[in-house]
Chains A and B, each alone.
Chain A
């Protein structure tokens, strides 16, 4: 026995779970939606995805270098943030806005707090909201899907939610698109942010994450359930004025938000009970903004607002500890 022995306190085995494995699985789960986005929106989508992803990795590497910290890009979290940011932008956004978004997400959304694990807000959503407020025109110029093979140039189009908001505010009545075209909404054949359009692809990815136990069901179920129930109540009260819960579910960024943004571990509660409350809050705020707010879509704002109360939720939802029982006399 010439070699030295390891001395350490127990346990001496490990599950093999790693942070980069978690990030990698989330990226895999986003693949179907990524491929469909490229299929529907063509080269602009591909270039936006590349700019955001490489931009995020680049800015993180740069910040580690400037701050003389060990490099962290290998953990995959920067790449994931980049993909999620691209998913939240119009497919043909100017390249420099996308790059500015990447800088915002990584530098202001994450590194400024100390990097992975310390940021209170979802970095990709911070960037999206900063861009939405700073560049309202470019951030709401949507393109209609033009499949790669069709050879048609991008034409501008409204999102179903945007169209609904405009028509309802002008006429007080729902437009036709709130009651039809659900199959297109389901597959993703509509205007919208790059990665949010295909309910089918997002659902596949989300279920994969739950099956792989990367995320638990609590946030998506309570988020979506709240939207369905509250949206459903409004719809039952006045179906001419409020859209059906299925319309809510399939349009906008709800599924992307519920499965991939709200479930960001760093910025959501750590206990199951807390996750249920968090999801409920996200759902409630989303519906209120969609039906009564100034913006057509409220998922990003809802999640960011709930990110802000996550520490409070964590504090109030401490699990009941074993042995907190009355002592036998």
Chain B
């Protein structure tokens, strides 16, 4: 019974992390039609920025109020979005909106290559460590088990992110416009939607979410070159399972993969790396385009 609980909690923690790193990817794809291979690099930039911000915060006397370091992390992610998103979106991606989707993959692959080195140029190749935010909240006892409370903060962050994204899309006028664009880009354009603005907004949100994922992760790892390279792979698996462009799908996919991985880690550790793809393969057998996307027949 305990094992089940452990798997559930571990799975939710991992799933929460997965959701935060994937939701931006699926949002950007849904709106812009571009599968952003540089999403992992944006995650890495978020992690580095957060590490620097937290370091700066404590150097400037943040010890008086250590919880403020969380604000520093979020602000760092926001800064990344404000600086990087317009450069990429206005400077490059907008030339590729009505082109082949594979071209979008290639272009963002180029961006990935560039950003990987830009990170090294800015932050160097030595790893950064910022453990303060991770230890701040102490530990939580769950039955016979101890968890670092920060892990639950990640769950909370995922839930809050999910709710905010959902509320924005379904509860605000601007969000409904975004949904309309996801649903049918051309139609929205003829209806007078300023698609350009929606694209900028969505890409900015996507970059922020990627950077936020990195920022939240920074205190849990050693921030070093290459941390973003794997993120795109797991995030892609998650959004394929949910259906490309579906926010709900990303949430469900993240929880499924999270729990499956936790189960594998505790039961058959050798399969840990396969389990993500296993879940993906099973889903694709029954739903060739993911859980929340209906396969449509072309009209001829």
A, B assembled together:
no
Show the binding face of A for B, using Cβ within 8 Å. Answer: none
Show the binding face of B for A, using Cβ within 8 Å. Answer: none
